[in-house]
Structures are given as C-alpha cells and as structure tokens.
Amino acid sequence: MKMRAQNKKIFKRMLLLSGVVVYLLLIGCRDKSIDHIKRGNDHLNKGEYDQAISDYTKAIEINPRFAATYYNRGLAYQNKAEYDQAIPDYNKALEINPRLAEAYNGLAWLLATCPDGNNRDGRKAIDNATRACELSQWKNSSLLDTLAAAYAEVGEFEKAVKWQSEAIELSATDNDKHAMQSRLKLYRAGKPYREEP
C-alpha cells in the first residue's frame, strides 16, 4: 500500500520533530534512539515499512517515552495493513503525549476508513478526529478530512459533507484537493470512504 497523501503531509510535519533531534544533538543530549528514529523516518518516507518498524522498535527499546516514535511506527503498521499493531501504537503515543494531534488523526483515520470492518469504530473515530481538530484550532485540512470520514462512517453524511467542504477550502495543494473532492462525492452519494487494502 502506498503512503496516501494525507499520511505524507502529516509525516512531513513529523519530520519537523527531527528539528528537536538536531537541537538535542547540539546541546549534547544524545541517546542512541535518535539514530534509529532518523533511519526509521527515512525508511517510512521511502515506503520501506518493515525497515521503518524495525528501526522504530529499536528506538522504543532505548527510549520508550518519545510519543512520535510510537506514532510513526503506528503509521508504518497502518500502511502495511497491520491494523491490530497500529492501534496500540497510536494509543501509546497519546498516553505519552495527549496533545499529539497527528496521533489522534492517525487513529481516527484508521477507525473511520479501515478496509477491515473489525477495526472500524466510527464513534471513536469522531472523538479522536474532533480532538485532533481542537488541537489544531480547526485549521488543518487533513484533520478536517479525517473528521468528515469519521462522520461518513457513522452515516452522518450532512456533517461529513460540511467538514469535507471545509477541508477542501483549507487545502493548499491540488493533489490534496482532488483526493478530498473524490471523497466529497462519496459522502454526497451517502457512501463512506474506505482505504484500499
């Protein structure tokens, strides 16, 4: 499965956390988990999910308190369609850092759009997507896109259309807008969106 545009966009935001890593290096506060995180990020960006998971797992063994590492590993598991592995990682990231909007969003997207119905839970998706939107002050198109998908999952298509339209309006790129407009058509037709397996 290719990393979808929304995940790529969020991943790029996560790369900003790499700036934290550089800062820690500059002040001399380095642990060996940083090397694994950097390699994991490189593998994730290339779609090399097994290698990314391996590096993130090693980083977690060294430093189990860095929430973004769990989030990134969850994203790698999700892109591998290993949903039962992704969910606990997103939850652990949120346990460590309850203000990590990307982890709420990743979990919400999985719960709303998972091709495996056993892993979908629209109500939990709405709760998580709403929290992500609150943390971003309702200004992130990808997070609003997820909220729309969550509402569509529970059959609340009017709300799905409302939030999808807001997401499209805030979206900065044509690729994102095109994908969002495709989902908007589904919601207007009374259909939820599903990720491809």
Are 87 and 115 in the same domain?
A: no
Residue 41 belongs to what domain range?
1-98
Reported as a single tens digit per residue, the pLDDT across 85-102 is: 999 999 999 999 999 999
Reported as a single tens digit per residue, the pLDDT across 99-125 is: 999 999 999 999 999 999 999 999 999
Q: What is the DSSP letter of 80?
A: T
CATH of the domain at 69: 1.25.40.10
Are 94 and 112 in the same domain?
A: no
Q: Is 135 exposed, middle or buried (0-12, 13-18, 19+ CB in 10 A)?
A: middle
Interval 16-29 mean pLDDT: 47
* Count of structural domains within the chain: 2
8 Å CB contact between 128 and 102: no
**pTM for the full predicted model:** 0.86
Are 82 and 109 in the same domain?
A: no
Q: What's the distance, CA 196 to chain centroid?
A: 16
Are 80 and 112 in the same domain?
A: no
Are 92 and 120 in the same domain?
A: no
**Domain end call among 98, 124, 158:** 98
